[in-house]
Chain A
Amino acid sequence: MYEFVTGPLAWIAFGIFIIGMIVKVISVIRLTSQKDKVVFNHWSWGWSFRSIYRWLIPFGSRSMREKPGLTIGVFVFHICLLAVPIFLLGHSIMWDERWGISWWSFSEMTTDYMTLLLIAAALFLLIRRIVLPEVKIVTTAYDYLLLAIAAAPFITGYMAYHQWFDYKTMLIIHILCGEIMLIAIPFTKLSHMILFFFTRAHIGSEFGQRRGAVTF
């Protein structure tokens, strides 16, 4: 089983993730050039990057400043989500053993705490969905599922690292959860991982270039 999830299944998961994302991007650009030419009429690289930059840094936009709690929660969640799997020592060693490529990694204690932070942030996002009326009213089962898909690799990874229950089984579950997430990204709202940059670039151009925003 371990050989299967780290062998063929890993290939499939990474393959679907990478090819899926490429297809996604190409199809969005194609569809836009066919049916939404207006997007290109007002396109501005300057405003695009300005808008993306402003929304990538914490408190870079007005709405982020108005909801500081959510902003901190969201940034903790996303930073840990991206950094932990890439800079985890255990993962690094696997890459090194299999492919002979190695890069810098965090200490095990750092990633351990970051995982806890991520789980806390996920809990915060979950509670928010249940408690706040303006979030609850738009929340569907799909939203909970996505949060679960995103948080599961970290919860199971934490359990495996601390050797709760049977280590080998836990590790396989952890790897499976990670692969489910990778496969889910191109097909779900998680595709905002890449589409975020497109929609932000568009609205940046829209309000900046087209509406002639001026900055002082």
Chain B
Amino acid sequence: MAEPAIDTNVIKQRLAALKGGRFKTWLQLCAHCGYCADSCFFYQAHDKDPKYMPAYKVIQTLGKLYKTNGEVSKEELEKMASIAWGDCTACRRCSMYCPFGIDIAVMIAATRAILCSQGLAPDALMDAVKNYWEFGNQMAVTEEDLSETLEWMAEETEEEMPGLTIPFEKEGADMMYTINAREAKYYPQDIAEAAMIFYAAGENYTFPKMGWDDTNLAMFAGEMKCAAHVVKLCYDNAERLGVNRIGVTE
């Protein structure tokens, strides 16, 4: 966890921005009935320890933030981070179990965004957000890294499929192909395998130099500006290359 000072004003702004029709109604309505408890696998896996029941987790995080209007200590925020990141996967099963249809998981996700704004998020996630801004992908793969990896993979398949090339920056292709940054960084053979299928199928596709990472960890971090940036990169490059479709592997 990073260690910047807490900016209460930012928390306040975020809380105010969230308080639309949905959050206000949800926070008002919860009848504390307990229907959500059994939906949660954290609760089930901890021998039904009530601390893990979904409504309680929201009360301890977002609920507390609203009650105090963001005036909480660093220790309290850290406790909230432990709940919001560690005791919930935001799978939304509880949201389906709630008789009022309160989207409990979305409230945890909103809490995560607030925590993230205070640097209280898993390091890997914070790094990914930084990398999206700087490199356009979560794993800091440069344009050069990618084009070299593509060439290398084309060479690797030479024996099996003579004549195979992996198109890069080809304008007017039918499809722009996007991948998980992990493929370019750690598992280039995945790229080679996909390329072989495309080659055999006679697909007219291309890798772009930017906007090829179709993961969006910024969304999980609640960094919506960055999340929008990632999606925009993808669409802008598809438009620039004049393709008809975007292929998404994730």
Contact = CB atoms under 8 A, between A and B. Distances in A.
A35 B25 CA distance: 13
Interface string B14-25: 000101111011
A212 B247 CA distance: 20
B51 interface: yes
Given A29-B21, A63-B99, A199 B26 contact: yes
Contact of A31 (B24, B32, B97, B100): B24
Nearest to A205: B101
B38 A138 contact: no
Interface stretch (A3-11, A99-107, A188-196): A188-196
A143 interface: yes
A133 B59 CA distance: 16
B38 A63 contact: yes
Interface string A177-216: 0000000000001011001101110111011000000000
A41 to B, nearest CB: 13
Interface string B32-62: 1111111100010000101101011001000
Given A36-B20, A133-B48, A138-B53, A203 B101 contact: yes
B96 interface: yes
B19 A35 contact: yes
Interface in A150-165: none
A138 B56 contact: yes
A66 B38 contact: yes
Given A34-B20, A204-B101, A206-B103, A134 B29 contact: no
A67 interface: yes
Contact of B102 (A34, A138, A199): A199
A132 B34 contact: yes
Contacts of A39: 21-22
A82 interface: no
Nearest to B94: A63
Given A29-B21, A189-B28, A195-B29, A51 B101 contact: yes
A192 B25 CA distance: 9
B229 to A, nearest CB: 19
B34 A135 contact: yes
B96 to A, nearest CB: 7
Given A34-B20, A134-B43, A138-B53, A192 B101 contact: no
Main secondary structure of the interface of B (DSSP, over half): helix
> In which size bucket is the chain A interface?
35 or more
A135 B33 contact: yes
B95 to A, nearest CB: 7
A140 B32 contact: yes
A189 B34 CA distance: 15
A199 B101 contact: yes
Among A31, A33, A135, A199, max chain B CB count under 10 A is at A199
Contacts of A70: 33-35
A32 B102 CA distance: 15
Given A55-B99, A134-B53, A195 B25 contact: yes
Nearest to B99: A55
B91 interface: no
B31 interface: yes
Contacts of A192: 29, 31, 100
Closest 4 CB pairs of A and B: A32-B21, A203-B101, A35-B20, A36-B20
Interface of A: 28-29, 31-36, 39, 51, 55, 61-64, 66-67, 70, 74, 128-129, 132-140, 143, 189, 191-192, 195-196, 198-200, 202-204, 206-207
Interface of B: 17, 19-22, 24-26, 28-39, 43, 48, 50-51, 53, 55-56, 59, 95-103
26 contacts: A28-B24, A31-B21, A31-B24, A32-B21, A33-B21, A61-B99, A63-B38, A63-B97, A66-B38, A67-B35, A70-B33, A74-B33, A129-B32, A134-B34, A138-B56, A138-B59, A140-B32, A143-B32, A189-B30, A195-B29, A195-B100, A196-B29, A199-B26, A199-B29, A199-B100, A202-B101
Given A135-B32, A199-B101, 15 more contacts: A28-B25, A31-B21, A31-B24, A32-B20, A39-B21, A63-B38, A63-B97, A134-B48, A137-B53, A138-B32, A138-B59, A191-B29, A192-B31, A203-B101, A206-B103
